[in-house]
A and B are shown apart, each in its own frame.
Chain A
Amino acid sequence: MSETPPPRDFDVRGLPWLGLATLALAGAGFVLLADLRGAIAAVVLGVAWYALPAPYAVAVGHLLLVALLPPESGIEAIQVVGLVPVEAGLLGLLATAAPRIDAPARFAVALVVATAVLVGVAALGFLAGGVPGAAAALAVVAGVLGYGLHRYERLRLGLIEAPPSDSRIESGSDTATGPETDPTIES
C-alpha cells in the first residue's frame, strides 16, 4: 500500500523560469502604460504572483490595469502598445502556472484558442450591448462550452447511465394496479 500523497496545491508553479519571463513581459507592459506607476504596479504584480495562486495574480493584474488606465478612457483610449504585453504576460502566467505539465504546448494552444474565442465573443457582445452585453455573452458562451465539455467527457468515457426502462411508464398504465394488469409481471 502506498503512503498518503502530499497535499496538492494548484499554485505550485510548474515552469518557474518561464513564469518569471511572462511576469517580466507583463511588468514591461505596465511600465509602457504608466511609467513609474506602471513600475510600481509591476512590483505589486510580482508580489501577487509569488504569494497568490496564478488565477488570483491575474485578477490582481487586471485590477492594476484598471487603476493605471484613466477611467474616462473607454475602449478607444486603451493603449494597445502597453496593453498587449500586459495581457500576453498575464496569459503566460496562467499557462505556466499548472504544475507538472506533461504537454505544455498543447495546453498553451488550447488556452490561447479558448481565450481568443472568448475575447471575440466579448467583443461582439460589447458591440451589441456595451459592457453588460459583453459580460452576458462571456458568461453564456463560457458556461455552454464548459458544460458541453463535461457532457462530452461523460459520453466518451461511458459514464452516462441509461435511464431505467419502465414498461409501466411507457405503456401509460396505472402503476398502482395489481399483478393482473402489470405488464412487467405478466411478461
Chain B
Amino acid sequence: MRATRRFWGVVLLAALLAGLAVLLERPVLLAGTASLAAWLLAGQYRFFARLAAAEGTTAVDQTLSRERVATGESTAYSLSVSRPDPSPLALSVEAGVPLAATADGESRSIDLDPGQREARLGLTLSWPVAGRFSCSPASVVATDPAGLLVETLSLGSTPSIDVEPRRPRNVHVGEGGEVVSAAFGEHESGRSGTGFDPAELRKYVAGDAASRIDWKATARLAEPYVREYESETERRTALLIDHRAALGEGPSGETKLDYLGHVALAFVGSARQLSDPIGCFAIGEEGLTARHPPAATDESYARIRGTLQDLQPTGGNAGASGNGTAQSGGADTLSGAVEARRNPAAARHMADRLTDDDAFDTTLLPYFRATESYVRRISGDPLFGALRRDIANLNGPVWTVILTDDTRPERLREAVTVARRGDNRVLVFLAPTVLFEPGGLADLEAAYDRYVEFEEFRRSLARNPGVSAFEVAPGDRLDAVLASGRRRREQRRAGRA
C-alpha cells in the first residue's frame, strides 16, 4: 500500500506533537501522538482487510471482439468490472490495452465509486503494427475511503490478438482457376550431353570422343557404347515487373503489384537457390525505374529483392485508386490527406498539386520528384520499349518473365511477340483487374463475365509458341467468381431440363 499526502500529513502532525512534548516536557502531548499513530495503524489494517476481500471478489473482464485482424483494422474492446457487494473502496480500473493498439477515446479507465457494483468501458482499438499482442491485466487502483492509502492490483483476463500485416494472402497462380505447379525450381535443359545425371546408353558413333565410351557397358554388350548424361544448364531469367498506376489497384497491401511482387520474389529466391543469373527491369509510367541485368551474385539477388520490395505504383492516381479509403473519402478530406501521408503512392498523387509558387511547395517538391526517378525514360509503351531495347540486347537465350495486368491487352500482346524472338521463352503473369477492383465483386455475375474475357485473353497469349501465361490473383476472390459461374451453368442446365 502506498501512503498518500494525507497520510504523511497526519504522520507529520503526530511527529509535531511528539517534538513539542519533548521540547515542552509535556508528556500529555505524547498521548496525542499515540492516538494519531494508532489511528493510522488501524486505518492500514482496515484498508488491508478491504483490499483482500476486494481482490477475491472483484471480477475484471477484458474482451476483444476478434482474435485475428489485419494491420489498420479495428476491434472492439470492452472492460467490465463488477463486485458482488457494495464495497467502501473506490476503484479506478485502467484498461490493459497493448501498447501497439491505438484507442479511439481519450479515457482508458473507469471508476467504481464506493457502493457502486459495476461499470463498463468500451473502446475501439486500431492496430497499426503487425504481431501478436496480449492485453496486460487491468490495473486496479484501490483507494481508501479516507484517502490515506492507495494500492494497485493487477486483475482480469488477458485476451490476445494476432495482427497480420497487409500482404498478399492466398496467392493463386494458375490457369483458368486451376492452380499450376511452380514454374520455377530445378530445370532440365531438354538436351543430353555431358553432365552428372546418367540419361541413356547409346551405341558409339564415329566422332564420339573415346573418353565417353562406357567400358563396362561395352564389355557387357560386346559393342562400344557411350553413356549419355543429362546436361544441366543455368537459366538466365529477366523479370519485367510493371508498376504503373494501374498496378496499384486493390486494397492497401493487397494490390495487383503486391501479388505480382510476391511471385517475382519467389523467382528471385529460386534463382538464388540454384545460383541462376536473374535480372530485373521495373517498368514505370514513363520508362524504366530500375534496371538490373542478369547476374548470379549475392549482391545482385539482394539488390533485386530490395527493388521489388520497394516498388510502388508510379504516377497517375494510383494511390487514390489503390486505396479504398482514399478513394471513397476523396483526397480533399482530412481522412484522405492522412491516408495520403501513409501511402507513398497516394502521397505522390497529393504532391501533384504542389507548385513552384509557394515556398512550402518548393521545399517539398524535390523529395517527391526524387521518388520517381527513372533510369531511362521511354517514349511510347514502356513495357514494349524495355523489351525491345534492354531484353533483346542481352546475349544468349533468356527466360523472360513479364508481370503485369490486363489493362493494356494489345500492347502486352506486342510486347510478348518481341520477347519470344529467338529461343527465348516467355512467362506472363497477369493480374485480372476484376479481382482487384474495389467493389469488383459486388455483382458476381458481371465479375464472372469479365473474368471470362480475361481468361480468353490469357489463353490467346498462351497459344503463342514458347509463351506460358498465368493468372495471379487472390484465391478466395477467384473462387467466389468461379462459384458464381458454376451456379449460372447449373441454373441453365436445370432450365433446359
Contacts and interface: CB of A to CB of B under 8 A. Distances in A.
A110 B6 contact: no
B147 interface: yes
B36 A114 contact: no
Contact of B30 (A63, A134, A153, A154): A134
Given A58-B36, A157-B52, A119 B29 contact: no
A157 B90 contact: no
Contacts of A8: 90, 143, 145-147
B55 interface: yes
A187 B27 CA distance: 65
Nearest to B2: A150
B143 A122 contact: no
A62 B151 CA distance: 32
B119 A2 contact: yes
A103 B145 CA distance: 13
Contact of A145 (B24, B29, B41, B120): B41
B201 interface: no
Nearest to B115: A100
A3 to B, nearest CB: 8
Interface stretch (B14-22, B411-419, B441-449): B14-22
Interface in B356-412: none
Contact of A2 (B35, B51, B110): B110
A181 B119 CA distance: 54
B18 A110 contact: no
A107 B10 contact: no
Contacts of B151: 153, 157, 159
B36 A55 contact: yes
B43 A98 contact: yes
Given A1-B120, A94-B39, A115-B35, A55 B110 contact: no
Contacts of B35: 58, 87, 90-91, 94, 115
A1 B107 contact: yes
Contacts of B50: 102
Contacts of B153: 157, 159
Contacts of A124: none
A134 B38 contact: no
B36, B38, B51: which has the most chain A beta carbons within 10 Å? B38
A8 B122 CA distance: 26
A8 B89 CA distance: 11
Given A55-B13, A98-B43, A135-B30, A156 B116 contact: no
**A interface: dominant SS:** helix
B21 A111 contact: no
Contact of B111 (A4, A90, A103): A4
Given A62-B32, A150-B1, A159-B153, A138 B39 contact: no
B191 interface: no
Given A8-B147, A56-B13, A135-B22, A115 B34 contact: yes
B26 interface: yes
A146 B40 contact: yes
A55 B9 CA distance: 10
A71 interface: yes
A2, A90, A130, A134: which has the most chain B beta carbons within 10 Å? A2
A87 B33 CA distance: 12
A179 B31 CA distance: 64
Given A66-B24, A150-B44, A139 B18 contact: yes
A185 to B, nearest CB: 25
Contacts of A111: 38-39, 42
Contact of A114 (B15, B27, B41, B121): B41
A138 B120 contact: no
Contacts of A130: 25
A11 B34 CA distance: 20
B39 to A, nearest CB: 5
Contacts of B112: 2
A83 B330 CA distance: 83
A135 B28 contact: no
A90 to B, nearest CB: 6
A116 to B, nearest CB: 8
B354 interface: no
Contacts of A91: 35
B41, B43, B107: which has the most chain A beta carbons within 10 Å? B41
A131 B111 contact: no
B26 A114 contact: no
A153 B1 CA distance: 7
Nearest to B39: A94
Contact of B145 (A62, A65, A98): A98
A5 B46 contact: no
Interface string A1-36: 111111011100000000000000000000000000
Nearest to B143: A8
A44 interface: no
A94 B39 CA distance: 7
A52 to B, nearest CB: 11
B51 A157 contact: yes
Interface of B: 1, 6, 10, 13-22, 24-46, 48-52, 55, 87-88, 90, 107, 110-116, 119-122, 143, 145-148, 151, 153
Given A3-B111, A90-B32, 17 more contacts: A2-B113, A2-B116, A10-B146, A58-B32, A62-B17, A62-B28, A100-B88, A103-B46, A117-B38, A122-B30, A134-B21, A134-B27, A135-B22, A139-B18, A142-B14, A153-B51, A156-B52
Interface of A: 1-6, 8-10, 55-56, 58-59, 61-63, 65-66, 69, 71, 75, 78, 83, 87, 90-91, 94, 97-103, 106-107, 110-111, 114-115, 117-119, 122, 126, 130-132, 134-135, 138-139, 142, 145-146, 149-150, 152-154, 156-157, 159
5 contacts: A5-B90, A62-B32, A71-B24, A114-B37, A126-B30
Complex A-B, nearest 4 residue pairs according to Cβ-Cβ distance, in ascending order = A62-B32, A114-B38, A10-B146, A115-B38
